[in-house]
Amino acid sequence: MITVVRFGHRKGRDTRITTHVGLTARAFGADRFVLAGSDDRTPLRTLEKVTEKWGGPFETVGVDKWRPFLRKRKGKLVHLTMYGLPLPRVLPQIRKDWETGGELMVFVGAEKVPPDVYEMADYNVAVGSQPHSEVAALAVFLDRLTEGRLLEDSSRFKGAELRLTPCARGKLKAPREPV
């Protein structure tokens, strides 16, 4: 189980990027998206509509009190931050923890992340040592974690109203096949 936690979403400013963090989480193999520390539920509603149209399962949750939520986790906490250890150095151990069971919680900040998150995290991980998008960091992390296995496996998305047909040029959307 992979849960992506988006922290510090600022209403009116971060809606699009938070939604993109959620879309990336869903597409790259996460099972759940948690919006922590914000009362703006707009990104969650958008992700629910995407899951309804493009298939699931994919759970979305809003959590007001993020510290207790992180403390009661049942698995490892990975904090994506450019101040962490390089991804290639810690990825083998993270993958081992994930594959042996339990939840892997991936923390992605928006505003300044409080210092206690660095302390709570089992891994503070840098996807790169230069400023970049949290969406990019999440995509690279999940792709490396799953070794790309989930990108072409659309069979995990059940109950889709729409699906894509791969093609070399153009866009082909097909309605879901009758059950």
**pLDDT digit string, tens, across residues 79-110:** 999 899 999 999 999 999 998 887 899 999 88
* Number of domains into which the chain is organized: 1
What's the pLDDT score for residue 176? 55
Residues above pLDDT 90, as percent of the chain? 55
Question: DSSP code of 53?
Answer: H
* Residue 174: band (very low, low, confident or very high) from pLDDT cuts 50, 70, 90: low
The CA distance from 51 to 160, in Å, is 8
Sort residue 78 into left (φ over 0), alpha (ψ -120 to 50) or beta: beta
Q: In what order do the strands lie in the sheet with 104-109?
A: 59-63, 32-36, 2-7, 104-109, 76-86, 123-126
Strands 173-175 and 162-164: antiparallel
Domain of 89, in residue numbers: 2-175
Strands 123-126 and 104-109: unpaired
pTM of the model: 0.89
What's the pLDDT score for residue 39? 79
**pLDDT digit string, tens, across residues 33-60:** 999 988 778 899 999 999 999 988 999 9
CATH number of domain containing 170: 3.40.1280.10
Q: How many CA atoms lie within 13 A of 144 on its CB side?
A: 18
Name which of 100, 107, 140, 101 is nearest 121 in CA terms: 107
Confirm if 109 and 81 have CB atoms less than 8 A apart.
yes
